[in-house]
Amino acid sequence: MEERPDSDLRKQASPPPEVIVFGSGACAQKIAANLYDHGVNAWLAARGDASPAAGQGEKRHWLTGVELTACHGFANNFELKLTEKGSLLHQHVPAIVLAEDDDRCPNYAPYGLSPNPRVLSISSLEEKMHPASPQDLFDNGTQIVFLCGWHNDSHPAIAQRMLTACHRLQNRSPVTTYFMTGNLKVAANGAEALVHSAKRSGALFLKFTDNFPTIQTRADGRFEINYLDELTRTDFQLKADWIVVDETIGPGRHLDALAKGLGINQDGIGFAQSDNVRRLSNATNRRGIFVAGGSRGILSDAEQLADADQVTLNLLAFLNNQDAEPLPPVAIDRGRCARCLTCHRLCPHKAIDIGDHMSVVAEACQSCGICVAACPARAIDMQGVNIGRAVYQRIKKSALNDGAPQDTSQVMVFGCTRSAGQARALSRLAGHRLPKGVLFVEVPCGGTISSQHLLAAFDAGADGVMLCTCHTDNCQSEIGNQLARKGADAARILLQAAGVESDRLTVASVAANMGNELTFMIDAFVDRIKALNGS
Amino acid sequence: MNIDRKHVAVIGAGVTGLTAADTLAGWGARVSLVEKTPFLGGHAIQLNCKATDACVKCGACVAEDKLLSATRHPHVDVYTGTQIETISGQRPYQITYRIHSPLVNADQCDGCGICFETCPVSGAISQGHAPHGGPYVAIRRDLCRYFQDAACTECQDACPQGAIGLSSQAQAGTMQADAILVTTGFTPYDPSDKSYGYGQFLNVITSLDAERLLREHTVMKRPSDGRPAGRIAFIQCVGSRDARLGHPWCSKICCGSSLRMARLIQSRQEDAQITCFYIDVQTFGKDFQPVYRSIRDNIAMVRAIPGDILRTATDELEVIYFDPQSHASKESLFDIVVLSVGLLPAEDNGPLARILGWAPHESGFLPHHGSERHPAPEGIFTAGAATGPMTIAESVSSAEESVYDMVRFLTAS
């Protein structure tokens, strides 16, 4: 066995932890190399037959031809069933990293082109330019046209590569380059300077807003590009010998299956991380599973390597148990549980174990309270959190304190710690007080509030109830806000049946930094309730 | 990796510094988080939530989260109103600093806001987060008139609680650090020199002014008379992509910010008519195209940067530009013009770099500590917008990446 560098990991007595990294590209390799340096055995699981480049094999373990069959278990204790070139493989790992490369697809159709020997994708051009010196690639006087983001905008990560290639060719070879784009993407470090430099070397930049060029392929395989120049408002025709097209970067082909197999939420495009700022930078909805590089979004090559370092940091913190926040434990009462599996189905963090008895796995649970609210048998309890009781106590206390007859409307506002709770603290700092009669109940997540709680508030004497959740796509528990809304919809139906105006119950979405807005919203709601009360 | 009992100084408590401080403390280090203004959160904390029906992923709320985590961590010591004076050349670094004691007494201040209303300088008194329950109203020495000529004492005279003491002494101090992380962020471009009338025309404001306005009133009101603003213009790239000014870079975040702000304003003010003057729209967010399209359909996108702005007798703004559609010069009237100012290197970068014996880039931004051409002195690290314009998401990543380097460095040293 190779000698490992001195590792300061706290658990020195036990064998080094093993981690699986799905992926085989630069990002995945860097993660594995980093982890190795810190005494963690990282297994690289690649779908294809990518073999380690010379000199890198000894440092990590490679599994090739790998497919994920199933993932069971939870943080610190995942059981992966894989097939490696057809044969079954079991891996028991505390943590998993998803770092598959993205998929780069050349854009032909957006430019009215088909694959053609004289049309190069930026990746192919980069490959050609890599070993060769630029001046040997193209003949003197060749016209090369770069097409970057017309009807559909490009992305800085891609534009940067196009600009770099354009600049290099213009600067160091006897060609003339043209860069035809819609919005020129310069929001990457050094991009603007690169554009200036390319222009100074003779590259021509042509921008289009509403009308885009049309391209004809001639019999000799070269191109005629007709366009209306926006500056001079004149029609021009450009003859191109070569065309370089940009690419659309998307999730790798196997990412979907992997994400679903691991129980990881995906964004609207298919990358294995929800488009939710709370997941920044490399977290997923499941504790112990991290996502990096081309698996989490469109990242430049440099960003992907940086991602590898970030993930290493967070993964090591996880293995060292440093990231454990003290969260109230959640437990399922066996006596009441009917094994309906609602909790298991709803849990956004996949933290419910179906064993001989249903149980909440502490390592994976993030104490959102969704299962507590959703359990039809009310069999689940979060320590220290009893919303029903809080509701009755708050309203009772308010009634007692007032002394005077109830001429103040009682409005109950539910808000979660991550948004409304913080917004309220912020508004307090700014000197805003809640109107008289408003009772604020802070909960772990909007999803902790069930329709029962809302009805309980009215039952206890509230004239109005406001339920504040995080915005769509901003919920720490992914779906807490949706479930809260569903609960409110259900409560409204019952309220209407009981003769209570449905306007008395409202749902609003808030963010942590909306101090003033929250106050305005509550004030406005209290006014509406007063009007309904007839005062 | 073990960094218990190591001491780290983080200079600058914006979203990058807060993220780094929290992460380093989590790894066991003792962190001194040093901030020159009275407030934590930098610029990110001043941004409004731009959500309408759903989150638009600007990341502003992340700054609040990071602030809470960092200030609650027992291993993080927060120093506000603190300016670094010297840093010795060897490790462990000896850092001398000067703490400006708070001008507003936290125990006496009750947040009535009278000082805020009385102050003649916009932005000199602000309300915001303070560490460990300190004053949430604070006076900025760099903007306050008293610190220029001792002439103005309006706030002190007006405060009913007597909580303001403008003539307070600074205290000196020293601390030791095994490593230093520089997260000084950026300075917004001051557009007073542009022919847009900023500083003279009340209704010409910067993007940050607009954020403050929205935060206070939730709708856009004309600063000149408080009436709701119907016609609003955004001018992009003010101070950015400008070789003549010596700013040949794109500030990255302004297109995304302005378009999101435009969308927010429209959702709150039905009659708002918004025009956006731009050069190239920069990408933002994961699913860019559909969101961009929906915004574009509701505002007028004009691919031209205006030359001059004139003020009418009724405080409206006449914006003069070359209209690409009609191919002729055009004037349009607006109630408010928002200048999307660029991100310039932090003013402290130069002095700090000098103290450290390190040269910043030509641009004024600090190199990344691992830069091959301008490596930082040993034990000095950089992260965030101090190295170049960054979004909030990128700043968080940058902080984590630098912390990784620091933890390895501190473990080995």
3-state secondary structure chain B: CCCCCCEEEEECCCHHHHHHHHHHHHCCCEEEEECCCCCCCCCHHHCCCCCCCECCCCCHHHHHHHHHHHHHCCCEEEECCEEEEEECCCCCEEEEEEEECCCECCCCCCCCCHHHHHCCCCCCEEECCCHHHCCCEEECCCCCCHHHHCCCCHHHHHCCCCCECCCCCEEEEEEEECEEEECCCEEECCHHHCCCCECCECCEEEHHHHHHHHHHHCCCECCCCCCECCEEEEEEEECCCECCCCECCCCCCHHHHHHHHHHHHHHHCCCCEEEEECCCCCCCCCCHHHHHHHHHHHCEEECCCCCEEEECCCCCEEEEEEECCCCEEEEEEECEEEEEECEEECCCHHHHHHHHCCCCCCCCCCCCCCCCCCCCCCCEEECHHHHCCCCHHHHHHHHHHHHHHHHHHHHHC
C-beta atoms of B286 and A430 within 8 A: no
Chain B segment 266-325 residues within 8 A of A by beta carbon are 279-283, 285-289, 292, 303, 324
Label residues A262-280 b or e (16+ Cβ within 10 Å = b): bbbbbbeeebbbbbbbbbb
Contacts of B136 in chain A (CB under 8 A): 429-430
B117 touches chain A (CB under 8 A): no
The low-confidence residues of chain B, meaning pLDDT below 50, are: 130-135
DSSP state, residue A195: H
Instruction: Tell me how close the Cα of A379 comes to any Cα of chain B, in angstroms.
Output: 32
Fold (topology level) of A387-533: Rossmann fold (3.40.50)
Residue with token string 């440093």: A322
DSSP string, A470-511: EPBT--TTSSHHHHHHHHHHHHHHHHHHTT--GGGEEEEEE-
Give the pLDDT mean for A181-189.
95
Give the pLDDT mean for A283-304.
96
Query: Each residue of A123-163: pLDDT tens digit?
Result: 999 999 987 777 778 888 999 999 999 999 999 999 999 99
Q: Give the pLDDT confidence score for residue A59 in this predicted structure.
A: 55
Nearest alpha-carbon partner for B394 in B282, B252, B281:
B252
Q: Give the pLDDT confidence score for residue B82 in this predicted structure.
A: 92
C-beta atoms of A511 and B61 within 8 A: yes
CATH number of B190-342: 3.50.50.60
Q: How confident is the model at residue A2 (pLDDT cuts 50, 70, 90)?
A: very low
Q: Give the pLDDT confidence score for residue B60 in this predicted structure.
A: 92
Q: How confident is the model at residue A56 (pLDDT cuts 50, 70, 90)?
A: low
How far apart, in whole angstroms, are the C-alpha atoms of residue A126 and residue A394?
66
CATH number of B7-101+169-185+346-412: 3.50.50.60
Exposed/middle/buried for A288, CB within 10 Å: 0-12, 13-18, 19+?
buried
Closest residue of chain A to B126, computed from CA coordinates = A430
Instruction: Tell me how close the Cα of A130 comes to any Cα of chain B, in angstroms.
Output: 22
Q: Give the pLDDT confidence score for residue A515 in this predicted structure.
A: 87
- B86 phi and psi angles, rounded to 5 deg: -135, 155
CA distances from A342 to A74, A373, A375, B28, B69 (A): 18, 11, 7, 40, 33
Q: Give the pLDDT confidence score for residue B149 in this predicted structure.
A: 81
C-beta atoms of B55 and A277 within 8 A: yes
Q: Give the pLDDT confidence score for residue A3 in this predicted structure.
A: 36
How far apart, in whole angstroms, are the C-alpha atoms of residue B55 and residue B45?
17
Q: Please check whether residue B100 is in contact with residue B141, taking contact to mean a CB–CB distance below 8 angstroms.
A: yes
Instruction: Tell me how close the Cα of B5 comes to any Cα of chain A, in angstroms.
Output: 15
- A96 phi and psi angles, rounded to 5 deg: -135, 140
Q: Give the pLDDT confidence score for residue B164 in this predicted structure.
A: 87
C-beta atoms of B111 and A306 within 8 A: no
Chain B segment 40-59 residues within 8 A of A by beta carbon are 45, 47-49, 51, 53-55, 57, 59
Number of H helices, E strands in chain A: 14, 26
Does pLDDT of A247 surpass 70? Answer: yes
Domain A104-249 in CATH 3.50.50.60: yes
A519 touches chain B (CB under 8 A): no
DSSP string, A107-137: --GGGT----TTEEEHHHHHHHHTTS-HHHH
Contacts of A322 in chain B (CB under 8 A): 26-27
Q: Chain B interface, mutation test: which of A429, A472, A485, most B Cβ atoms within 10 Å?
A: A429
Of chain A, the percentage scoring pLDDT greater than 90 comes to 78
Of chain A, the percentage scoring pLDDT greater than 70 comes to 93
Options 3.50.50.60, 1.10.150.120, 1.10.3470.10, 3.90.550.10; CATH of A18-102+251-319: 3.50.50.60
Q: Give the pLDDT confidence score for residue A13 in this predicted structure.
A: 54
Query: Each residue of B337-361: pLDDT tens digit?
Result: 999 999 999 998 999 998 888 888 8
Q: Give the pLDDT confidence score for residue A486 in this predicted structure.
A: 95
Give the pLDDT mean for A257-267.
96
Share the mean pLDDT of chain A: 90
User: For chain A, where do the domains classified as CATH 3.30.70.20 start and end?
Assistant: 331-382
User: For chain A, where do the domains classified as CATH 3.40.50 start and end?
Assistant: 387-533
Q: Chain A interface, mutation test: which of B18, B39, B43, B55, most A Cβ atoms within 10 Å?
A: B55
Residue with token string 């409005």: A411
Q: Give the pLDDT confidence score for residue A398 in this predicted structure.
A: 67
Chain A segment 332-391 residues within 8 A of B by beta carbon are none
C-beta atoms of B248 and A196 within 8 A: yes
Contacts of A250 (CB under 8 A, 6+ apart): A102, A103, A105, A269, A270
Query: Each residue of A8-46: pLDDT tens digit?
Result: 444 445 678 899 999 999 999 999 999 999 999 999 998
Three-state secondary-structure class, residue A30 = helix
As for the ipTM of the complex, it is: 0.91
Q: Give the pLDDT confidence score for residue A315 in this predicted structure.
A: 96
Give the pLDDT mean for A394-405.
64
Contacts of A518 (CB under 8 A, 6+ apart): A420, A423, A424, A427, A468, A510
Label residues B267-288 b or e (16+ Cβ within 10 Å = b): eebeebbbbbbbbbbbbbbbeb
Contacts of A102 in chain B (CB under 8 A): none
C-beta atoms of B397 and A307 within 8 A: yes
Instruction: Tell me how close the Cα of B96 comes to any Cα of chain A, in angstroms.
Output: 31
Q: Give the pLDDT confidence score for residue A60 in this predicted structure.
A: 63
Q: Give the pLDDT confidence score for residue B287 in this predicted structure.
A: 80
Does pLDDT of A197 surpass 80? Answer: yes
Nearest alpha-carbon partner for A346 in A333, A321, A365:
A365
The radius of gyration computed from the CA coordinates of chain B, to the nearest angstrom, equals 22
Give the pLDDT mean for A45-69.
74
User: For chain A, where do the domains classified as CATH 3.50.50.60 start and end?
Assistant: 18-102+251-319, 104-249
B65 touches chain A (CB under 8 A): yes
Domain ranges of chain B: 7-101+169-185+346-412, 190-342
Cis? peptide before B92, omega within 30° of 0? yes
Contacts of A307 in chain B (CB under 8 A): 397
Closest residue of chain A to B404, computed from CA coordinates = A313
C-beta atoms of B285 and A275 within 8 A: yes
**Dihedral sign, CA of B382, B383, B384, B390?**
positive
Chain B segment 232-271 residues within 8 A of A by beta carbon are 241, 243, 248-250, 252, 255
Fold (topology level) of A331-382: Alpha-Beta Plaits (3.30.70)
Give A89's strand partners: A82
B384 touches chain A (CB under 8 A): no
C-beta atoms of A312 and B288 within 8 A: no
Alpha helical stretches, state H, A283-325: 301-319
B127 touches chain A (CB under 8 A): yes
Indicate the pairing of strand A242-245 with strand A143-148: parallel
Give the pLDDT mean for A64-88.
93
Nearest by CB to residue A471, choosing from B54, B216, B292, is B54
Q: Give the pLDDT confidence score for residue A399 in this predicted structure.
A: 66
Residue A221 has a CB neighbour count (10 Å cut-off) of 11
Chain B segment 131-150 residues within 8 A of A by beta carbon are 136
The pTM of this model reads 0.92
